[in-house]
Chain A
Amino acid sequence: MISYLLTFVLVIMIVYAWLQVRSSKLLSAILALTCMVGLVFVWAPELTQTLAHFVGVGRGADLVTYIWIICTLFISFNLHLELRRERERFTSLVRKLALGEDLKVKS
Chain B
Amino acid sequence: MVETMSEQTEISLSAENREKVWIVIAAFNEGAAINEVITAVRLQYPNVVVVDDGSADDTGAQAQDAGAIVLTHLCNLGQGAALQTGIDYSVRKGAEAIVTFDADGQHHVGDIAALVQPVLADEVDVMLGSRFLGRAENIRTSKVLTLKLAILFTFLTTGTKFTDVHNGLRCLSPRAAKAIRIRQDKMAHASEILEQIVSNKLRYREAPVTITYTAYSMRKGQPISNSIRIVKELLVARIH
A99 to B183, CA, bound (A): 17
Query: Given that A84-B240, A88-B183, A91-B185 are contacting pairs, would A99 and B88 also be in contact in the complex, using a CB cutoff of 8 Å?
Result: yes
Map CB proximity to B onto A68-103 as digits: 1 under 8 Å, 0 otherwise: 000000000000110011011001001101110000
Q: Is A98's CB under 8 angstroms from B239's CB?
A: no
What's the Cα separation between A98 and B82 when bound, in Å? 10
Which residues of B sit under 8 angstroms from A98, Cβ to Cβ?
Answer: 51, 71-74, 85
Report whether over half of chain B's contact residues are helix, strand or loop; otherwise say mixed.
Answer: mixed
Cα A72 to Cα B157 with chains together (Å):
29
Does chain A have a CB within 8 A of B228? Answer: no
Q: Is B74's CB under 8 angstroms from A94's CB?
A: yes
B184-238 at interface with A (beta carbon < 8 Å): 185, 236
Total residues of chain A contacting the partner, CB 8 A: 12
Whether, in the assembled complex, B84 has its beta carbon less than 8 Å from a beta carbon of chain A, the answer is: yes
A94 to B73, CA, bound (A): 6
Complex Cα distance, B72 from A85, in Å, reads 22
**Residue from A81, A95, A98 with most neighbouring chain B CB atoms (10 Å):** A98
Residues of B within 8 A of A80 (CB): 236
Among B75, B92, B240, the residue within 8 A (CB) of A85 is: B240
> Is residue B81 contacting chain A, with contact meaning CB distance below 8 A?
yes
Q: Which residues of A contact B239 (CB under 8 A)?
A: 81
Cβ of B88: which chain A residues have Cβ within 8 Å of it?
Answer: 95, 99
B153 at the interface (CB under 8 A from A): no
20 A-B pairs within 8 Å (CB atoms) are namely: A80-B236, A81-B236, A84-B236, A84-B240, A91-B81, A91-B185, A94-B75, A94-B81, A95-B73, A95-B85, A95-B88, A97-B74, A98-B71, A98-B73, A98-B74, A99-B71, A99-B85, A99-B88, A99-B89, A99-B92
Closest 9 CB pairs of A and B: A98-B71, A95-B85, A81-B240, A91-B81, A94-B73, A98-B85, A98-B73, A91-B77, A84-B240
Q: Besides the contacts A81-B236, A98-B71, A98-B73, what 6 more A-B pairs have beta carbons closer than 8 Å?
A: A91-B77, A94-B77, A95-B73, A95-B85, A98-B85, A99-B71
Task: Give me the interface of A with B, judged by CB distance under 8 Å.
Answer: 80-81, 84-85, 87-88, 91, 94-95, 97-99
